[in-house]
Amino acid sequence: MTLQTAPSRNASAETTVSVLASVMDVAAAEWLKLRTMRAAWVVWAGAAVSTLIGLIIIMGHVGSYDQATPGQQASFESADPAVAVMPLVAFFIGTLSALVMTTEFSTGSIAPSLVAVPQRRTLLAAKSVVVTCVALAGGVLFASLSQIGAMLILGDRPAPLNPWTHWWEAVPPAAGTAVTTLATGLVALGLGAVLRSAAATVAVIGALTLVVPMFAHVLPEPVHLWVASVLIPNLAPQIAGAESAYLLAPPVAAAVLAFYVVVTLGAASLSFSRRDS
């Protein structure tokens, strides 16, 4: 058997390939990997189902509102999908982002990946590009769907049940939740690179997006507010400048969110580039 020779390459030209072009080529390969990972489609389905369930919960909440007396209606919680839907969506997007890294370790395919791309920071950067695109697109998609669904369910019912007087008032909170979903994805990717285990990473992401925000309520005031204000899901309304009980101004909230991303990706960069694979 003889081998057919691939087109010859100019070695010096190869060495001058820009880092950016290299990252984009590797990102294209990572995108192909994600598309061909069956678990990714399961996670997307999970995010879609959780959106649907969240809207059904809002529907039930609106049904209770309709049967309540005017006095009771005045004290109803707002039917905000940022609370009912998006934390679960962020958890699923975070899980998907973690799998971008942890699947490689669990299957051992990190070895051929690193043989192809031995510059580990380039590989991490390429994975970050893919996660950024996917998490932002997922965040925008599900935030928009849940806001539109909630608007259709709420109709012309007034505040406090309806969080918006006009449709455009829903845009900043939707953008805020899309951004926090993106950050959740990047944090999950970074944790995946450090922990190298899907189970451990998903557990931490579940704690950050669902469990800790829920249990923060049991803390005494004002500790509860301090803690709750810096939790990732609660940063969404603060970044959007929406009315909330939390403490941070939009720029500070954005800085806290960026801190989460920088710390986890920084730890990932150190761990990924220094540890044996």
Choosing from 3, 20, 214, 218, the residue that interacts with other proteins (CB under 8 A) is 3
How far, CA to CA in Å, does 209 sit from each of 106, 109, 177, 271? Answer: 24, 29, 12, 24
**3-class SS at 36?**
coil
Choosing from 50, 103, 180, 209, the residue that interacts with other proteins (CB under 8 A) is 103
Least Å from the CB of residue 10 to other proteins? 10
For other proteins, the binding residues in 10-49 under the rule CB under 8 A are 14-15, 17, 22, 25-26, 28-29, 32-33, 36-39
Residue 119 or 144: the one with the smaller Cβ distance to other proteins is 119
Choosing from 53, 72, 74, 108, the residue that interacts with other proteins (CB under 8 A) is 108
SS3 content of the chain, % helix, strand, coil (to 5): 80, 0, 20
Q: What are phi and psi of 104, to 5 degrees?
A: -65, -40
Which stretch in 101-109, 141-149, 180-188, 253-261 sits in contact with other proteins by CB under 8 A?
A: 101-109
Q: Which two tokens stand for residue 234?
A: 């609660």
Residue 214 binding other proteins, by CB under 8 A: no
Residue 115 binding other proteins, by CB under 8 A: yes
Question: Whose CA is closest to 82, among 179, 226, 198?
Answer: 179
Least Å from the CB of residue 133 to other proteins? 16
C-alpha of 158 from chain center: 31
Tell me the number of residues near other proteins by CB under 8 A: 39
Residue 116 binding other proteins, by CB under 8 A: yes
Sign of the Cα pseudo-torsion (38, 185, 200, 262, in order): positive
- Residue partners of 51: CB distance under 8 A and separation at least 6: 85, 88, 89, 142, 145, 146, 149
Choosing from 48, 52, 73, 119, the residue that interacts with other proteins (CB under 8 A) is 119
Least Å from the CB of residue 36 to other proteins? 5
State the residues that interact with other proteins by CB under 8 A: 1-6, 9, 14-15, 17, 22, 25-26, 28-29, 32-33, 36-39, 103, 107-120, 274, 276-277
